[in-house]
Structure 1
């Protein structure tokens, strides 16, 4: 009985020993790396001082902030707006001077001014109107100058955000087969790449 027990024990022990041996078959692990090109445009490095720098440049020389932001097409608009304000200021100033000189000559007793058919009260009103229009012209010039600075600052802020060209708004035309009438609409399309 002891022998049988010993044989069974040896048989179980030997089986477990042979079961522990390794196979001669080796498995090679082949890893492949897939590289996907990013479809996004390369992003410029973030510069937190760019908006302040663009606003400063536009404050020193109008339009220089737009040059810094590479928005050259805005420069003629800025200078046209400021030039229009200066032009109308000069024109209203000349008119004011003419009305004032004619009024002063009338107060001095002369009647040979260029506004002979106009009453003295109308000359006073014309002076007030010319003065008011001069003020409006100054306001227009200052507003274009300030818009120049604000535009440079905001544009520099927005340049640091990625804006994709994949978003489009297109008109849509469709024909309704049930009532034989055309249908018009707008479609907003976003393309995934």
Structure 2
């Protein structure tokens, strides 16, 4: 019995409330854009993409999403750091491998002649570091392209009209045939 009361209270609390969609910061930004210019700006997405292509994070700044620019910089910077680090390590192991093949002393051989890393270990390290370097480069390129696409899509979305003409209103409709079992549903209203 108590479970039915709780369920009824839950449905009556949430189903009788009007829920309106599209109320967020994008709507505020769209209204600001509408106040400054009454026309749709078709060049805004291409400008955002251009600024992002020239300077990573520039399109996000152009769109007014300043908090996204440090994320873009950190992502691209991290991939650049890992690319440089893996490339330097690869060069170290490659140089040691070449010196060892020529019979010379390398940095992985002690003064007394003991070898710290075998020749097979040097080859394996080169393969792993080359793979990591290439993956870092690929990740950096993908992040660069992704931030350009994100800036363009965000500029497109900022231009949408987001007024309250779209609303969702949950209703309970009594059925004339079965009074004791009301029908529950959602009404979607869209006005032009």
Q: What TM-score range do you get, normalising by the shorter chain?
A: 0.5 to 0.7
Give the match for residue 153 of structure 1: 152
CA RMSD between the two structures: 2.8
Cα distance per residue 1:121-146 (max 9 Å; x no partner): 11111111111111011011111111
Unpaired stretches in structure 2, ≥5 consecutive residues: 1-26, 110-114, 169-185
Give the match for residue 128 of structure 1: 127
Aligned residues: 134
Question: Taking structure 1 as the reference length, what is the TM-score of the superposition?
Answer: 0.61
Give the match for residue 162 of structure 1: 161
Alignment pair present for 1:107 and 2:101: yes
Runs of 4+ in 1 over 6 A off after TM superposition: 165-168
Alignment pair present for 1:119 and 2:118: yes
Unpaired stretches in structure 1, ≥5 consecutive residues: 1-39, 169-187
Question: Taking structure 2 as the reference length, what is the TM-score of the superposition?
Answer: 0.61
Q: Distance in 1 between matches of 2:167 and 2:86?
A: 48
Cα distance per residue 1:142-173 (max 9 Å; x no partner): 111111100110000000113469989xxxxx
Deviation, 1:117, is 2.4
Give the match for residue 78 of structure 2: 84
Alignment pair present for 1:94 and 2:81: no
Deviation, 1:112, is 4.7
Which is higher, the Rg of structure 1 or of structure 2?
A: 1
Structure 1 residues 157 and 112: CA distance shift in structure 2, 3 A: closer
Deviation, 1:58, is 0.8
Deviation, 1:83, is 0.4
Which structure is richer in relative contact order (CA contacts within 8 A, separation 6 or more)?
2
